[in-house]
């Protein structure tokens, strides 16, 4: 049955976002007997992946990147490309016969009025949609973020976020500054240098934890050491980096002082898996510089007082969830705009409002999609079983004792 504003009959379960986390949640809910409708703001499944740069490859192996119920095809290789992964997500939706409604943005999620047969009301451009439960899966990488650097509006060069960078071709022969030394920033810098950029700098605020991109053992190590004390894991990780990665201090990139486990716990930052970045820095193809402090006409002013004159600045400076606009004053977000609960857990003031895809574990974000989807499906099954049990006093089901027009709460 099509989902329309007038169709407030069964208060369906709605999943917001048809990326990996939303697809996995919908697939496992359907498998457990709770069909869900996916609402996707874009015109295709996996749109955020399709919009990434052309040369993107997953940083996790296929076994750690596939979603529950469908393996990645072997022909995708050990490091799956962007295009292959988008095709996989489209196949996943078809394989599990998911009800995906494209070009349907959700503007706001509000609590429904009592007596309507729904817990939640989703505001869309076409009108409100009732829901008995909502899974929010719009993701950590929802809205590109560029810091409000002083003078940036008057910069005479080109400034763009890495979300809007697609290939190195337009930057051939240019002087390019990449801001941010995470996985995206280091990979973009390397590709620009190899593709014929005249000069490539990378602005580094905090020295990254770098590990070889040689196998899945780093993610496996993360899973195996989760029970160990944080300080012990940090010391081990720093020792591993010293053994596996050359010292780049002479090239302007000192070794990190903070272990990768502490950085992940504090900042949600994962280590950089080396795609040739180390060799590019050692050979001088990519030059680390200090963090960006501001702009002055054609100049980029760095934290150490030095200045650069790049033709293009690519800000690999992360994203924001933008959940405040979606959820308003429900009290389910922390000061950073991240959900206070994840996976199968819900906030006491927001029953049956679930969040998935807002963590960045060292064990792999795509592997986490399956973990959280299973937890949400289990929570639904537990709720269904609880509300279906006969009352010990009357022998009636709890739903039988509710006033007419009310759904079980």
CA gap 313, 298 in Å, rounded: 11
Distances (CA, A) of 128 to 10, 42, 112, 172: 15, 18, 10, 48
Sign of the torsion formed by the C-alpha atoms of 381, 324, 145 and 234: negative
Angle among Cα 403, 407, 408 to the nearest 5 degrees reads 95
pLDDT score at 222: 58
Measured between its terminal Cα atoms, the distance across the chain in Å is: 24
Assigned fold of 13-142+321-401? FAD/NAD(P)-binding domain (3.50.50)
Instruction: For residue 159, list its beta bridge partners.
Output: 313
Domain ranges for the chain: 13-142+321-401, 147-317
**Comparing C-alpha atoms, which of 185, 189, 145 is closest to residue 168?**
189
Opening angle at CA 18, ends 366 and 64, nearest 5 = 15
Choose among 8, 347, 298, 25: nearest CA to 151. Answer: 298
Residue 130 φ then ψ, to 5° = -80, 150
DSSP assignments along 129-192, one per residue: EEESEEEE---SSSEE-----TTGGG-SSEEEEGGG---SGGGTT-EEEEE--SHHHHHHHHHH
For residue 68, the tally of other CB atoms under 10 A from its CB is 18
Dist. CA 366–CA 24, nearest whole Å: 10
Query: How far is residue 135's CA from residue 354's CA, in Å, rounded to a whole number?
Result: 5
**Amino acid 239: pLDDT:** 87
One fold for 13-142+321-401 and 147-317: yes
Helix (H) or strand (E) holding 208: none
For residue 408, the model assigns a pLDDT of 31
Q: pLDDT tens string for the chain (409 positions)?
A: 444 444 443 579 999 999 999 999 999 999 999 999 999 999 999 999 999 999 999 988 898 999 999 999 999 999 999 999 999 999 999 999 999 999 999 999 999 998 888 999 999 999 999 999 999 999 999 999 999 999 999 999 999 999 999 999 999 999 999 999 999 999 999 999 999 999 999 999 999 999 987 655 555 665 666 667 888 888 888 888 888 899 999 999 999 989 988 998 888 888 999 989 999 999 999 999 999 999 999 999 999 999 999 999 999 999 999 999 999 899 999 999 999 999 999 999 999 999 999 999 888 899 999 999 999 999 998 887 776 545 444 443 333 322 223 333 2
**What is residue 217's predicted lDDT score, i.e. its pLDDT?**
59
**363: which 2 tokens?**
């064990």
- Fold classification of 147-317 is FAD/NAD(P)-binding domain (3.50.50)
Nearest to 322 by CA among 125, 41, 118: 41
Q: Is 3 helix (H, G, I), strand (E, B) or coil?
A: coil
According to the model, what pLDDT value does residue 394 have? Answer: 42
- pLDDT number for residue 218: 57
Query: How many residues does the structure list for the chain?
Result: 409
Model pLDDT, residue 231: 86
């Amino acid at each position: 049955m099509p989902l329309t504003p007038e169709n407030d009959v069964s208060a369906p379960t709605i999943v917001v976002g048809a990326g990996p986390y939303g697809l996995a949640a919908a697939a496992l809910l359907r498998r457990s007997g709770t069909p869900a409708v996916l609402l996707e703001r874009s015109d295709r499944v996996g749109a955020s992946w399709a919009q990434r740069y052309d040369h993107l490859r997953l940083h996790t192996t296929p076994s750690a990147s596939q979603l529950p119920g469908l393996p990645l095809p072997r022909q995708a290789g050990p490091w799956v490309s962007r295009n292959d992964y988008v095709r996989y997500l489209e196949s996943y939706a078809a394989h599990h016969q998911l009800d995906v409604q494209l070009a349907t943005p959700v503007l706001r999620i509000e609590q429904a009025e009592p007596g309507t047969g729904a817990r939640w009301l989703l505001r869309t451009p076409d009108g409100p949609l009732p829901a008995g439960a909502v899974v929010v899966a719009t993701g950590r990488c929802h809205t590109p973020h560029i810091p409000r650097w002083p003078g940036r509006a008057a910069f005479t060069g080109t400034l763009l976020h890495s979300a809007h960078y697609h290939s190195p071709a337009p930057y051939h022969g240019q002087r390019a500054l990449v801001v941010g030394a995470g996985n995206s920033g280091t990979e973009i810098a390397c590709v620009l240098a190899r593709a014929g950029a005249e000069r490539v700098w990378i602005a580094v605020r905090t020295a990254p934890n770098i590990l070889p991109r040689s196998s899945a053992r780093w993610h496996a190590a993360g899973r195996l050491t989760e029970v160990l004390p944080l300080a012990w894991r940090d010391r081990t990780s720093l020792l591993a980096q010293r053994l596996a990665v050359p010292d780049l201090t002479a090239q302007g990139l000192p070794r990190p002082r903070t272990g990768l486990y502490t950085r992940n716990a504090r900042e949600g930052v994962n280590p950089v898996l080396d795609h040739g970045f180390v060799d590019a820095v050692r050979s001088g193809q990519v030059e680390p510089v200090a963090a960006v402090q501001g702009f002055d006409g054609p100049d980029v002013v760095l934290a150490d007082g030095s200045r650069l004159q790049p033709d293009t600045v690519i800000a690999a400076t992360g994203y924001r969830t933008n959940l405040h606009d979606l959820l308003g004053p429900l009290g389910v977000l922390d000061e950073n705009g991240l959900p206070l609960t994840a996976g199968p857990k819900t906030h006491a003031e927001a029953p049956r409002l679930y969040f998935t895809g807002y963590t960045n574990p060292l064990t792999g974000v795509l592997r986490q999609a399956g973990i959280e989807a299973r937890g949400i499906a289990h929570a639904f099954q537990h709720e269904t079983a609880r509300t279906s049990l006969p009352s010990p006093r009357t022998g009636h089901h709890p739903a039988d004792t509710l006033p007419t027009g009310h759904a079980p709460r």
